[in-house]
A and B are shown apart, each in its own frame.
Chain A
Amino acid sequence: MLSPADQEKLRDSFDEMTSPVRVLFFTQTLDGEHCVQTRRILDELPALSDKIAIEEVNFVLEKERAAQYGIDRVPALALLSQDAAGDVHDSRIRLLGTPGGYGFVSLVQALMLVGGHESSLTPENRQRIAAVSTKTTIQVFSTPT
Chain B
Amino acid sequence: MAFANEHITSYAVEATEFPDLARKYRVNGVPKTVVNDQIEILGGLPQDDFITQALELQK
Contact = CB atoms under 8 A, between A and B. Distances in A.
Interface of A: 34, 70, 73, 91-99, 103, 106, 110, 113-114, 119-122, 124-126, 128-144
B9 A94 contact: yes
A91 B3 contact: yes
Contact of A142 (B5, B10, B21, B30): B30
Contact of A133 (B7, B31, B37, B51): B7
Contacts of A130: 4-5
B11 A140 contact: yes
A93 B11 CA distance: 6
Contacts of B25: 139, 141
- The secondary-structure label for the interface of chain B is mixed
Interface size class, chain B:
35 or more
B58 A142 contact: no
Contacts of B54: 138
Contacts of A138: 1-2, 8-11, 33-35, 54
B55 A94 contact: no
A97 B13 contact: yes
B13 A137 contact: no
Contact of B16 (A120, A139, A143): A143
B15 A142 contact: yes
